[in-house]
Amino acid sequence: MSLWPELELVLPEVSKPARYIGGEGGMVEPEHHPSKVAWLLAYPDTYEIGLPNQGLQILYEILNERDDAVAERAYAPWVDMEAEMRAGGLPLFSVDTHRRAGDFDVLAFNLSAELVYTNLLNCIDLAGVPVRAENRADADLLIGAGGHCTYNPEPMADFVDFFVLGDGEEAVTEINAVVRDWKRAGKKSRQAVLRDLASVEGVYVPSLYDVVYDGPALVSITPRFADVPAVVEKRTVADLAAWPYPKNQLVPLTEVVHDRLNVEVFRGCTRGCRFCQAGMITRPVRERPAEQVRTMVADGLARSGYDEVALTSLSTADFSGIEEVVSATMDCGAGEVSVSLPSLRVDAFTVGLAAQIQRARRTGLTFAPEAGSWRMRQVINKLIDERDLYGAVESAFSQGWRRMKLYFLTGLPTETDVDTLAIGELARNCVELGRGHTKNPSVTVSLGGFVPKPFTPFQWFGQNTVAELQRKIFLLRDDIKRNRGVQMKWHDPKATLVEGIASRGDRRIGRVIEEVWRQGGTFQEWSEHFDYDRWTQAMARNGLSVDWYVHRHRTEDEILPWDHISAGLHKDFLWQDWRDALNEVGLEDCRWTPCYDCGACTGYSIEHIVASATPPAGGSQGTGQNPTAFQPQASVPVQLSGVGERASS
Ligand code: SF4
């Protein structure tokens, strides 16, 4: 039954009531039936952040196309709405038909950032379900989670009944079948359905595993039953062409982030940036056929009314035939459609592509060199040489852009002050190049703190302390503050530390997350709500050392909390890549070189699906040569640029 009559009374009292009303273009009002599994797909952040999430929209469509499932959506209520809901006894509800969460069978979350973990607990609590899995009754909602953060599920293991690792398109159908049979049999035993879920490939049920510690060290995580897998393998969809979703992207009634048509052009990335978890865990590369991209763009524009399309992936310029697809996209709207290409590499973008993009309005420019010095870029395997970077910057200025953002990480392995100050030098040189084309060129340095992530070669690295990150940030700030045209923004190092606690934490960190939540610590990714002291005090109260979890370098033989999870990557490949990083040795993209046997293809019998046997412009990386130095008088280069947003850190 709909809660709308009660919600209508509350909405005038809260900020942005449009967050809770639904009614988007593409929304489904599914017909619930006792024989169908009812899914509530939740994003544990605000509606504006959560609505565009493509993973959630894909599952929403796939489930609603089935005759044995229905799916609706929920987002974390903002603090004012939560207060009204708790005061009025209103539970978490769907935005589609405003049903209470308790009317569903599964509450499934997308987890894409560690700082939303407390929001997940809050949503479970608002749904009327015990936050700890062990306290749930047979018929309580099943709590599931997917998304990149689930590659280390342990910090959330006490709260989530089942995790789904990797691509969800095929797995969700198999999970639905298990829950459907359980529901039709009367939901008699929660234990039984969890055992059945554990037999679905890619599903991890943490309550079926024993965890053993020796003091602070983790000794083992092993299944308690013979039929439960000792290592849970991620799911990988081999053929993206079989999954042209979302077919009917949601068009919101209010402002949201990434408010445009999004068409995924490929999954996976083998550039091998050593800090980038997304690139490592989504291998191998699987391209969508260019013809299907064109159809999805044309149909999506016609259906949605959008005049902007983002061709999404982890490194869109690497898509075979990108120029033709962009050209066809621009033609769809008779010159009125703009194309954004998030996550472009500076060294893989051609003048032709830039010319296409400029046929419509200019979007902002963000380049992500990630590190200021060539030495540092060799360590992180982001082998962009200065010739390409300055070429891209100068081309952009020469073609009418006036402002750009340069994204960097600080706190990287082996980083020295020389590397930090090289960021300022690089930014100054970019402004200098801009002066040749415009009066007031502007470059914003955006500095993020580095958090080592599971399943990357940097998973063994001890993260910088808050004090060290702060010192480096101020060193750079002081270096560039008198340079006209250069601005600087940075991420709060204390938030970086908390991300670090959750990123590589084990199951004991769940107690900390619960304590922070119980003290009111929701929306921790929002600076006005982030509370560093709550986290450090909760660590201390639970007898857990920040130094042990965050700042300590790990050794090769250490048992890691995610060793019973497989992203397909061989651990010895990652260890060798870590040694190569310390030796400043780059590794070329395996799409166009012999295989390094990382495991991602061999383990799943899938090869890279790319249309072109030759790398795109700039794709042949890793020369090991010290690139050309800064030459502001150099002629306008052949290579251009990157547009859009940063992929990931
Ligand atoms: S298995 Fe080989 S080809 Fe496949 S991603 Fe790993 S290194 Fe590249």
CA dihedral 344, 346, 348, 349 (to 10 degrees): 80
Q: Is 523 helix (H, G, I), strand (E, B) or coil?
A: coil
Phi, psi of 2 (to 5 degrees): -75, 140
pLDDT score of 342 more than 80: no
Q: What is the length of the chain?
A: 649
**C-beta separation of 545 from 216 below 8 A:** yes
601 pocket-lining for ligand 1 (C-beta < 6 Å): yes
- Give residue 239 CA to ligand 1 midpoint distance, Å: 17
**Does residue 620 register a pLDDT over 70?**
no
Do the Cβ atoms of 218 and 203 come closer than 8 Å?
no
* DSSP secondary structure string for all residues of 244-260: ---SS--B-SS--TT-S
State residue 643's pLDDT score.
Answer: 28
- DSSP one-letter code for 549: I
* 557-592 per-position pLDDT tens digit: 999 999 999 999 999 999 999 999 999 999 999 888
Contact 596, 573 (CB under 8 A): yes
How many whole angstroms from 269 Cα to the centroid of ligand 1?
Answer: 10
Please tell me the predicted confidence (pLDDT) of residue 350: 53
Q: What is the pLDDT of residue 616?
A: 58
Tell me, what's the pLDDT at 171? 98
Q: For residues 126-143, give the mean pLDDT.
A: 97
Q: Is the pLDDT higher at 612 or at 94? A: 94
Q: 283 CB under 6 A from ligand 1?
A: yes
Kindly indicate the confidence band of residue 629, based on its pLDDT and cuts at 50, 70 and 90. very low
Q: Is the CB of 595 under 6 A from ligand 1?
A: yes
pLDDT in the model for residue 357: 63
Has residue 637 got a pLDDT over 70?
A: no
Dist. CA 215 → ligand 1 center (Å)? 37
Instruction: Identify the band that residue 621 occupies on the pLDDT scale cut at 50, 70 and 90.
Output: very low
> Using the 8-state DSSP alphabet, how is residue 93 labeled?
B
Residue 359 — pLDDT band, cuts 50, 70, 90? Answer: low
Query: How many Cα neighbours within 13 Å face the side chain of 511?
Result: 11
Contact criterion met (CB below 8 Å) for 208 and 162:
no
Q: What pLDDT is stored for residue 187 in this prediction?
A: 93
- Please say whether the beta carbons of 439 and 528 come within 8 A: no
The H or E element containing residue 278 is helix 277-281
Q: Which pLDDT belongs to residue 559?
A: 98
* pLDDT value, residue 635: 27
Q: How high is the pLDDT of residue 329?
A: 80
Q: For residue range 493-546, list pLDDT tens digits in order.
A: 999 999 999 999 999 999 999 999 999 999 999 999 999 999 999 999 999 999
Write down the pLDDT at residue 622: 41
Mean pLDDT for the stretch of residues 301-323: 88
Q: What is the DSSP letter of 454?
A: T
How far from 539 is each of 461, 543, 546, 561, 634, CA to CA, in Å?
21, 6, 7, 18, 54
Residue 615 has pLDDT above 90, yes or no: no
Q: 421 — phi, psi (to 5°)?
A: -70, -25
Residue to substitute in 266, 267, 269, 270 for testing ligand 1 pocket (most ligand atoms within 8 angstroms of CB): 270
Which atom of ligand 1 is found nearest the CA of 569?
Answer: 6
3-state secondary structure string across 58-85: HHHHHHHCCCCEEEEEEECCCHHHHHHH
Does the Cβ of 593 fall within 6 Å of ligand 1?
no
3-state class (DSSP) for residue 399: coil
Half-sphere exposure of residue 442, counting CA atoms within 13 Å on the CB side? 9
Q: Are 325 and 616 in contact (CB under 8 A)?
A: no
Contact indicator for 601, 608 with CB cutoff of 8 Å: yes
Residue 315 DSSP class: S
Asked whether residue 138 carries a pLDDT value surpassing 80, the answer given is: yes
Mean pLDDT of the chain: 90
Segment 456-469, tens digit of pLDDT:
999 999 999 999 99
Model confidence pLDDT, tens digit, residues 98-121: 999 999 999 999 999 999 999 999
For atom 8 of ligand 1, which residue has the closest CA? 590
pLDDT in tens, 15-28: 999 999 999 999 99
Q: Examine the pLDDT at 356 and tell me if it is beyond 70.
A: no
pLDDT exceeds 90 at position 182: yes
For 191, other C-beta atoms within 10 Å of its C-beta total: 11
pLDDT of amino acid 352? 57
Q: ∠ at Cα 402 (397, 403), nearest 5°?
A: 110
Q: What is the pLDDT of residue 509?
A: 98
Sequence-distant (≥ 6) Cβ neighbours of residue 611 within 8 angstroms: 287, 289, 290, 320, 321
Q: Using the 8-state DSSP alphabet, how is residue 226 labeled? A: T
Q: Which residue has the tokens 């499932």?
A: 69
What's the token pair of residue 125? Answer: 């609590």
Provide the pLDDT for residue 645.
Answer: 30
Whether the predicted pLDDT of 474 surpasses 90: yes
- Residue 269 CB–ligand 1 contact under 6 Å: no
pTM of the model: 0.92
Distances (CA, A) of 73 to 53, 96, 497, 556: 11, 6, 31, 42
Three-state DSSP class for residue 620: coil
Report the share of the chain in percent with pLDDT over 70: 89
Instruction: Look up residue 423 and give its two tokens.
Output: 């960021």
